[in-house]
Structure 1
Amino acid sequence: MIQSPTARGIAIFLLAGLMFTGMDLMAKLLASRVHITQTLWARYAVQMVIVTALITPRARQVLKTKYPRLQAVRSVFLFAASVFFFAAYLRLDLAESIAISQLSPLWLTLGGAIFLGERFGPARLIAVLIGLCGALIIIRPGTEAFTPWSFLPLIGTLCYAGYALTTRFVGADEDVWTSLFYSALFATVVLTVAMPFTWVPLERSDIPFLIGIGAFGAAGQLFLIRALSLTEAGILAPFFYCSFLWAVIFQITIFGDLPDTATLIGALVIVAAGLYVWRRETRKSA
């Protein structure tokens, strides 16, 4: 049993990464058949339905927030990140898009130091940079990965880092379910208004994937919010890289694409950076 709050936060964060990668996989599978607005609407509308159903018995308590403006900012940041990431799946491979998104830890660690006053010692910096090097080994700058479409997930990383930092600032002062509800509120309202203008008839086989996108997204948000309430953003930052490992696994099992030598080397570097932070930080907080 994991006793340390830091260790629990890291473990929960890894689960969040798995949920989000599963969501991304389903979005990628639908990218060529379903309009992006419909996919995004399902992502947030399903989350709203799930969360609303679960909080109904204590809705009055859950809907009270100490940080209404920050909750609004969080919702906008998350919506913007989703737009850029989902748009990238129209042209980029799942693993390729998620590999580029691995720049998020750098922005998150720097933002945690600048805006939240978190420690930013050499050990954290080295771990994040090592993980970033692993991602760059996989991306291989100068190859076809760096197309204009590659800027979509890059911008998405900045938006996602903004969301994670505001979530960390809200932290334990806010009920997890309060943050989960408001995370999807802005996107659900905007996309519901846009739906009549972008609706495309769906195949029955697409509906389970759309529901799955929302369910996986809701679970990922719940785990992420909980992890950030337990552990500093700078500690969690290197573990963003593990989402790429999930993407590689899905790429192999679903699309039949085997990773090459560079991908395997980069993945090992990413794992090494994450394990280094896990061991160092959990020892300190034990």
Structure 2
Amino acid sequence: MARLSPTAQGIVLMLAAIFLFSTMDATAKALMDRYAPMQVVWARYAGMMTVVAVILAPRLGPLLRTRHLGLQLLRSAFLFAATLSFFTAISTMDIAAATAVMQVHPVILTLGAALLLREPLGPRRIFGILAALSGALIVIRPGADLFSWTALLPLLGGAFYASYALTTRFLGRDEPILTSFLYTAIIGTLVASVLTVPVWQTPSVGDAAIFLGLGAVGALGQFLLIRSLTMAEAGAVAPFGYAGVVFASLWGFLAFDEVPDRWTFLGALVIVGAGLYVWHRETRARAAAATA
């Protein structure tokens, strides 16, 4: 890694983070054969909270100080809703299809930034947004014989995740990213602990270890993602986030004997293509603004 340029290191770290996230998702899907989705969400947050508390223990006091408690609560709520929506979706859907639909979040973020941050929204960006949403509809196919309303959950999760990213932009101006990370873990764990009570099922010793590992993998993925974005510009590493569709397809095939159908492949290509197009337009617009 030391011989690589900072941008190349950022790309490697981004790919590693996305691989860990896909591993976490596959583990969650396997656990949901035996446990309610809410309990698996709890495991994801409780495991992450344990790891974060150990790593950040010497700095907990300073990191807990925030000037935007309300925004931290809102941001954490968005991520919690995105996680619950996605985990519930993959409990009944192929993991590759759900992951592909979830990838609409970058273009939804573009729409949110235009509406809330007054960023320009020209016809090409509108085209990218509509194309990504069309790709999502190709995957979930409303009106098809096998359609269920659960198939809309990853689309809802993408909207929640875009909202989470948008609030992160606001907080990133004034507060350390580790403060936001810590509040995400604390708030998610507290909320999930309350909501898990009605569906709680005591796990076996082996499953308890998997629960802890689920959170640890998610926490490590978050740390690598943060490190990636500090090593390289976001615009350089962002497109590699779409590797999640590939990793999810591999896990689906290897762990669950899931083979994406032609509609999932087509929809995923449309979503990824639209996302890359919007990313390209965003990059060019920022470069033109910097030059001006």
When normalised by structure 2's length, the TM-score is: 0.78
Could you say which residue in structure 1 is the equivalent of 2:104?
103
Could you say which residue in structure 2 is the equivalent of 1:207?
208
SS of the equivalent of 1:32 reads: coil
Does residue 159 of the first structure (1) align with residue 160 of the second (2)?
yes
SS of the equivalent of 2:213 reads: helix
SS of the equivalent of 1:173 reads: coil
CA distance 1:273–1:161, change in 2 (3 Å): closer
- Structure 1 vs Structure 2 CA RMSD: 3.4
How far is 1:105 from its partner?
2.9
How far is 1:102 from its partner?
3.0
> Relative to structure 2, which stretch is displaced further, 116-125 or 245-254?
116-125
SS of the equivalent of 1:216 reads: helix
1:244-283 superposed matches below 5 A: 244-273=245-274, 276=277
CA distance 1:142–1:243, change in 2 (3 Å): farther
Does residue 25 of the first structure (1) align with residue 26 of the second (2)?
yes
Could you say which residue in structure 1 is the equivalent of 2:67?
66
1: CA distance between counterparts of 2:207 and 2:64? 32
How far is 1:75 from its partner?
1.2
2: CA distance between counterparts of 1:115 and 1:80? 20
1:166-177 superposed matches below 5 A: 166-177=167-178
Kept in 2, the 8 Å contact 1:179–1:225? The answer is: no
- Give 1:107's aligned amino acid: I
1: CA distance between counterparts of 2:145 and 2:103? 17
CA distance 1:102–1:280, change in 2 (3 Å): closer
2: CA distance between counterparts of 1:173 and 1:117? 20
1:248-283 superposed Cα distances (whole Å, 9 cap, x missing partner): 121122223333444444444455455556666667
* Runs of at least 5 residues in structure 1 that lack an aligned partner in the other structure: none
2: CA distance between counterparts of 1:255 and 1:15? 22
1:39-50 superposed matches below 5 A: 39-50=40-51
1: CA distance between counterparts of 2:177 and 2:115? 25
When normalised by structure 1's length, the TM-score is: 0.80
Kept in 2, the 8 Å contact 1:100–1:150? The answer is: no
2: CA distance between counterparts of 1:42 and 1:219? 15
- Give 2:163's aligned amino acid: G
2: CA distance between counterparts of 1:241 and 1:145? 26
How far is 1:36 from its partner?
2.6
2: CA distance between counterparts of 1:11 and 1:278? 19
> Relative to structure 2, which stretch is displaced further, 149-158 or 164-173?
149-158
Kept in 2, the 8 Å contact 1:105–1:128? The answer is: no
2: CA distance between counterparts of 1:106 and 1:255? 30
Kept in 1, the 8 Å contact 2:103–2:272? The answer is: no
Could you say which residue in structure 2 is the equivalent of 1:83?
84
CA distance 1:19–1:160, change in 2 (3 Å): same
How far is 1:71 from its partner?
0.7
Could you say which residue in structure 1 is the equivalent of 2:217?
216
SS of the equivalent of 1:64 reads: coil
Could you say which residue in structure 2 is the equivalent of 1:184?
185
- Give 1:42's aligned amino acid: A
May I ask how many residue pairs the two structures share in their alignment? Answer: 281
Kept in 2, the 8 Å contact 1:51–1:177? The answer is: no
1:234-261 superposed Cα distances (whole Å, 9 cap, x missing partner): x95x766543232112112222333344
Kept in 1, the 8 Å contact 2:76–2:187? The answer is: yes
2: CA distance between counterparts of 1:155 and 1:31? 20
2: CA distance between counterparts of 1:117 and 1:256? 45
SS of the equivalent of 2:22 reads: helix
How far is 1:214 from its partner?
0.8
SS of the equivalent of 1:259 reads: coil
1: CA distance between counterparts of 2:138 and 2:15? 22
Kept in 2, the 8 Å contact 1:47–1:217? The answer is: yes
2: CA distance between counterparts of 1:119 and 1:231? 19
CA distance 1:190–1:257, change in 2 (3 Å): closer
2: CA distance between counterparts of 1:18 and 1:268? 19
Kept in 2, the 8 Å contact 1:26–1:212? The answer is: no
* Runs of at least 5 residues in structure 2 that lack an aligned partner in the other structure: none
1: CA distance between counterparts of 2:275 and 2:120? 18
